[in-house]
Structure 1
Amino acid sequence: MSLNFFDKLSQDLIELLNDGDDYNVIIEVENKEKSFTAHSNVLKFRSSYFRRELENIQPNENNIKIIIKSSISAQIFNVILQYIYGGIIDLKNCETRFIYDLMLAADEFELEELTNKLETLLIETKGSWLRTHFSFIYHSIFNRHDDFKKLKNFCNDIVVKYPNLIFDSDDFTSLKESALIKRNDLQIKEVEIWDYIIKWGIAQTSTLPTNLDDWTKENFLTLKTTLQQCLPHIRYFHLSNIEVVDKIEPCRKILDKQLWKDINQHLLIPDRPVKSIILPPRTILDRELPPRIEEPRKSLSDIISEEHAAEISTWIDRRETAYTLTNIPYEFELILRGTRDGFAPQTFWDICHGHACTVVLVKVKGTDEIIGGYNPLAWDNSNIDDEWMETKDSFIFSLKDGNIQNSILSRVKKPDSAIGNRSKSHQKEGGPYFGDFWMYSEKSDFTLDNGCYCRSDSCYYEKTIRSLSGWFSIINYEVFKIFRKTI
């Protein structure tokens, strides 16, 4: 007979983690702004990643080993540690994006059990979110070799029916070789697959001439080597005469001589056997997506309404006809909320670093005002000096709300001074910067002083967005990443 006391064991280990005594490891995260203490014996027996790291790190004069994981957020790593010590995590009130990022972190720390659980959870209960953010998901997991097999199968089942979701995406050429083109049920013309793999192969070698007529024998050999895992999966013998002449023939030097000879023979005498393998044609499927798994609808924002989101979407696309609630083309994904993540300016730079196409929304203290700005470029927290980013597509705005009768849109008029990236030394006080509108706090809390400001003279943007000039404080702010809906 055995008696199990896992709940008590888990509780005791969590208390050990929180105790802060007798630790011999410090893990620094969020660009070394946050740190956690831990115990090497617990870490190395729970994670092979930490076992390797700890073996290769020399302790300092206090016999403490320091591990630096700058790219991991403190919020994510806190959950990771809770799992390592207590084997329990609470995802009840977590955003889906947080769960996804937690899964990526669990994989990085080689926590296989947690990774598999989160992967299954996302597929079984967050299918609608996965499909809405399909391109982002696909590109983030398919550049990993053997990880996330269930998610890859989930994505491939969609892509075989709608392959242009990937092939026509801006970062298609950044993908590693994928097993996608091996699928017999890929729903795309064979000649288009050929075009895409040639495009992908050329993009992998920047030294190849742009004009095919200028290519040397060595250039073709380079491309052939790059595409060696892809070329065997093209259905050459199901291409038309015109497709072979227009598409295959200009790149024939990347094919084996016997294959090129067999392709030509098959076009002239299709009934005569060839030495090369003839793959079957790809299967035509019923192009119907699997049913969405609907999630309980959550409020878009604590600051704006769906109508505001439609208005902002209209401005992003520069439309004369406004979007309605039924045809908003964008998904607004919350990445930062002051009441949830805190109001320190540094938090903005830590969380929003690397995110492009973001909307910053501010609720002004003491008024009905909602003001904000749209940045199509990526925020960057790595600058040594304050720097301007140039764009013609940014804008600042004030939204109709309460006693505010009309929304105000103000597009940038000096593109070279549209967006400001704060230097590392200024990020503790300075937040997002939109030329004529910026967030600032000497107390490192946007709610504690009147540090935010909107110009009344419209220096960098077309018009002022506030009727009241001067400095102001806020009661909340949010940052949303904007994704175009794909499905």
Structure 2
Amino acid sequence: MSFKFFDKLSQNFIELLNDKDDFNVIIEVESKEKSFMAHSNILKYRSSYFHRELENILSNENNIKIITKPNISAQIFNVILKYIYGGIINLENAETRFIFDLMLVASEFDLEELTYKLEAILIDTKSSWLKTHFSLVYHTIFDRQNFKNLENYCNDIIVKYPNLIFDADDFTSLPESALISLLKRDDIQMEEVKIWDYIVKWGIAQNPTLPTNLEDWTKDNFLVLKTTLQQHLPYIRFFHISADEVLDRIEPYKKILEKQLWKDINHHLLSPTRPVKSIILPARTVLVTELPPQNYCNDIIVKYPNLIFDADDFTSLPESALISLLKRDDIQMEEVKIWDYIVKWGIAQNPTLPTNLEDWTKDNFLVLKTTLQQHLPYIRFFHISADEVLDRIEPYKKILEKQLWKDINHHLLSPTRPVKSIILPARTVLVTELPPRTNEPFSTIISEEHAAEISTWIDRKTTNYLTTNIPYKFELILRRSRDGFAPQKFWNICHGHAHTVLVMKVKGTDEIIGGFNPLAWDKSNKKNKWVETKDSFIFSLKNGNIRNSILSRVKNHERAILNRSKGEQKMVGPQFGSDFWMNSSSYNFTLDNEIFCRNENHFYERSIRKSSSERFSIVNYEVFKVQVQVQSEEAEEVETSKTQL
């Protein structure tokens, strides 16, 4: 039996930080204007970044090691240090930009748990800020390349409204990884030839010494561009571009393409059914045929009004643009908030108006009324609640016509009573709240290629499935960022689920390891219970390179899977034989090196880790239920030849 007293432990470590007893590290921040004292042992074991830094820094004559981080604010580093010592973060009343910057610093210090938590907070609760500061967020996260959930969140918006990025002034400064992540998407809503144009534009911008006139380009110039775009070109859907577009837009740059590809493009245009050697990617899916050009921006804004209304330059919006938005029945914003923004805009056009409303004269209200005379007829006053009318409308009632103000009050008292003013219809509600992740990827750990490989192992195939014919759907049932790292969470959520795949990211490495259990997990046992199967296996994946994967099938069938007793489920998660299981005496798989992956090979064929260390921690894990889905003739054969999962 064990007892855990983490609150007191955290308090004691915070006291140690405050007392500065026996410190041997100084961290200088904010252009060396501020400094913090700390203890090397705590820093090293809480952060792999500090572990590396402190190993490489020599102590001064006072046996003190000094680390300088001039670009980090003292306020943010103070929060980071308290988290490192006490595991506590207080974000009450914190501004969203502070949370965003804190996430970046947490990532820089390799504080994965904190980074993931802050990323989830931004996506789940700060979506308006993310959209308002879209360009900043997008460029920053791809520069750092450590925020996959935010990357997917942003890309889900961009694929629908690509001009937000492609037409931006800073498009050519977009990180290469960001651009490639977009090119990989099948659902980006842009003509393929335009995507090509933007890619060429981006590539040329990375090489400012290239001649301005294409006619002046040499063979070496084309080679420079080809080298710059070598990671981009495989994702262009050349075989879905018309003949005229190929001749006008592709052919001038044909020297950056492989000879076989250029030959195949021409052959395909002449004879579409003729086989070619090059890979023909599928056409991108079209969600909408074409957005009306004159309404393109408004079609975006009515769905994401904060992009404009919360922008720093909102008050400089032209009157005509604001009125065109007010006329829309489908703008997704509460009517009283629309009123607030209109008043804000009107006041901003008259900078001489008093700051304090109590100081306003009759003439001041007349000035604002005149400024907003074209806007007010489109406010849906009769769809604003009584409390909102009293709190937000009444202070400015003098800018309304007397009859309108009278009718608003009468309508609140008796909604069925006729009024003289025009009652505009309520605005339509498309969604109550923009889903934070509209096309959430099936996994934040493994790729489609990994899913294809695991599916191949499940079916004991000798050749790998392609990503286009995976016979299984990987349905997420547990994810760390959503459900936490407590072992008991695994048993509570996965109980009763059969045919599950477990994957986890090993802390401090690029390893992904996991296992497949064809049987149902069972949390109801009073005692540990072994279950028998010939089909379970454990595996190791290299992130981004499936050729380095390791597969280990069960060899002791009678002890393939262990369902732990109720008394042990607080500390122990899923277990595959005695070769691989998840354990944590801290009730958190990220806090101690107690996940086991042994090299004894008693229950499974071989070790799935090359490291000599048996124990490790993780930074993320997910559990999927795999179910048969028909995607190809081969998948149909699978479904008819085996018991449906």
* Contact 1:125/1:293 (<8 A) preserved: no
Q: CA deviation at 1:21?
A: 2.7
Residue of structure 1 equivalent to 2:218: 216
Q: Distance in 1 between matches of 2:218 and 2:89?
A: 58
Give the gaps of 5 or more residues in structure 2: 292-298, 327-347, 365-645
Q: Distance in 1 between matches of 2:189 and 2:63?
A: 59
Q: Which amino acid is the alignment partner of residue 204 of structure 2?
A: I
* Contact 1:173/1:204 (<8 A) preserved: yes
* Contact 2:76/2:102 (<8 A) preserved: yes
Is 1:3 the counterpart of 2:3? The answer is yes
- The total of aligned residue pairs comes to 325
Is 1:88 the counterpart of 2:88? The answer is yes
* Contact 1:311/1:322 (<8 A) preserved: no
Residue of structure 1 equivalent to 2:99: 99
Residue of structure 1 equivalent to 2:262: 260
* SS, match of residue 26 in structure 2: strand
**Structure 1 residues 47-75: Cα deviation after superposition (integer angstroms, max 9, x where no partner):** 11111111121222211111111100111
Any residues of structure 2 matched to 1:341-420 within 5 Å, and which? 400-402=354-356, 403=359
Residue of structure 1 equivalent to 2:60: 60
Residue of structure 1 equivalent to 2:273: 271
Residue of structure 1 equivalent to 2:187: 185
Q: Distance in 1 between matches of 2:302 and 2:250?
A: 39
Q: Distance in 2 between matches of 1:2 and 1:257?
A: 68
* SS, match of residue 186 in structure 1: coil
Compare 250-259 and 54-63 and name the one that shifted more. Answer: 54-63
Q: CA deviation at 1:182?
A: 1.2
Q: Distance in 2 between matches of 1:122 and 1:260?
A: 45
- Percent identical residues: 67
* Contact 1:119/1:151 (<8 A) preserved: yes
Residue of structure 1 equivalent to 2:51: 51
Q: CA deviation at 1:96?
A: 1.1
Q: Distance in 1 between matches of 2:75 and 2:68?
A: 16
The two structures have a TM-score, normalised by structure 2, of: 0.47
Compare 3-12 and 148-157 and name the one that shifted more. Answer: 148-157
Distance 1:105 1:193, change over 3 A: same
Residue of structure 2 equivalent to 1:249: 251
* SS, match of residue 68 in structure 2: strand
Q: Distance in 1 between matches of 2:312 and 2:208?
A: 41
Q: Distance in 2 between matches of 1:257 and 1:141?
A: 36
Residue of structure 2 equivalent to 1:240: 242
Residue of structure 2 equivalent to 1:23: 23
* SS, match of residue 142 in structure 1: helix
* Contact 1:27/1:67 (<8 A) preserved: yes
Distance 1:292 1:34, change over 3 A: farther
Residue of structure 1 equivalent to 2:69: 69
Q: Distance in 2 between matches of 1:269 and 1:313?
A: 53
Residue of structure 2 equivalent to 1:420: none
**Structure 1 residues 282-305: Cα deviation after superposition (integer angstroms, max 9, x where no partner):** 01126998998999xxxxxxxxxx
Q: Distance in 1 between matches of 2:9 and 2:49?
A: 23
Distance 1:310 1:209, change over 3 A: closer
Distance 1:50 1:235, change over 3 A: same
Q: CA deviation at 1:3?
A: 0.7
Q: CA deviation at 1:401?
A: 2.3
Residue of structure 2 equivalent to 1:159: 158
Q: CA deviation at 1:268?
A: 1.9
Q: Which amino acid is the alignment partner of residue 401 of structure 1?
A: T
Residue of structure 1 equivalent to 2:573: none
Q: Which amino acid is the alignment partner of residue 246 of structure 1?
A: D
**Structure 1 residues 386-432: Cα deviation after superposition (integer angstroms, max 9, x where no partner):** xxxxxxxxxxx76632458899xxxxxxxxxxxxxxxxxxxxxxxxx
Distance 1:399 1:23, change over 3 A: farther
Compare 165-174 and 43-52 and name the one that shifted more. Answer: 165-174
Structure 1: 4+ residue segments shifted above 3 A: 286-295, 309-314, 319-324, 402-407
Q: Which amino acid is the alignment partner of residue 192 of structure 1?
A: K
Is 1:115 the counterpart of 2:69? The answer is no
* Contact 2:132/2:311 (<8 A) preserved: no
Q: Distance in 2 between matches of 1:157 and 1:321?
A: 30
Residue of structure 2 equivalent to 1:35: 35
Q: Distance in 2 between matches of 1:82 and 1:32?
A: 20
* Contact 1:126/1:293 (<8 A) preserved: no
Q: Which amino acid is the alignment partner of residue 285 of structure 1?
A: L
* Contact 2:139/2:175 (<8 A) preserved: no
Q: CA deviation at 1:276?
A: 1.5
Any residues of structure 2 matched to 1:132-143 within 5 Å, and which? 132-143=132-143
Q: Which has the larger radius of gyration?
A: 2
* SS, match of residue 144 in structure 2: coil
Q: Distance in 2 between matches of 1:155 and 1:103?
A: 16
* SS, match of residue 143 in structure 1: helix
* SS, match of residue 42 in structure 1: helix
Q: CA deviation at 1:158?
A: 1.2
Residue of structure 2 equivalent to 1:195: 197
Distance 1:322 1:192, change over 3 A: closer
Q: CA deviation at 1:152?
A: 0.9
The two structures have a TM-score, normalised by structure 1, of: 0.61
* Contact 2:25/2:67 (<8 A) preserved: yes
Q: Distance in 2 between matches of 1:110 and 1:312?
A: 36
Q: CA deviation at 1:320?
A: 7.6
Q: CA deviation at 1:37?
A: 0.8
Any residues of structure 2 matched to 1:430-449 within 5 Å, and which? none
**Structure 1 residues 340-386: Cα deviation after superposition (integer angstroms, max 9, x where no partner):** xxxxxxxxxxxxxxxxxxxxxxxxxxxxxxxxxx9xxxxxxxxxxxx
Distance 1:238 1:293, change over 3 A: closer
Q: Higher helix share goes to which structure?
A: 2
Q: Which amino acid is the alignment partner of residue 210 of structure 2?
A: L
Give the gaps of 5 or more residues in structure 1: 296-305, 328-373, 375-396, 408-487
Residue of structure 2 equivalent to 1:446: none
Residue of structure 2 equivalent to 1:148: 147
* Contact 2:161/2:300 (<8 A) preserved: no
Q: Which amino acid is the alignment partner of residue 220 of structure 2?
A: E
Q: CA deviation at 1:204?
A: 1.2
Residue of structure 2 equivalent to 1:359: none
Higher relative contact order structure (alpha carbons within 8 Å, sequence separation ≥ 6): 1
**Structure 1 residues 163-189: Cα deviation after superposition (integer angstroms, max 9, x where no partner):** 111111222212222321011111110
Distance 1:120 1:211, change over 3 A: same
* Contact 1:135/1:166 (<8 A) preserved: yes
Residue of structure 2 equivalent to 1:126: 126
Q: Distance in 1 between matches of 2:201 and 2:48?
A: 39
**Structure 1 residues 113-132: Cα deviation after superposition (integer angstroms, max 9, x where no partner):** 10011111111222222222
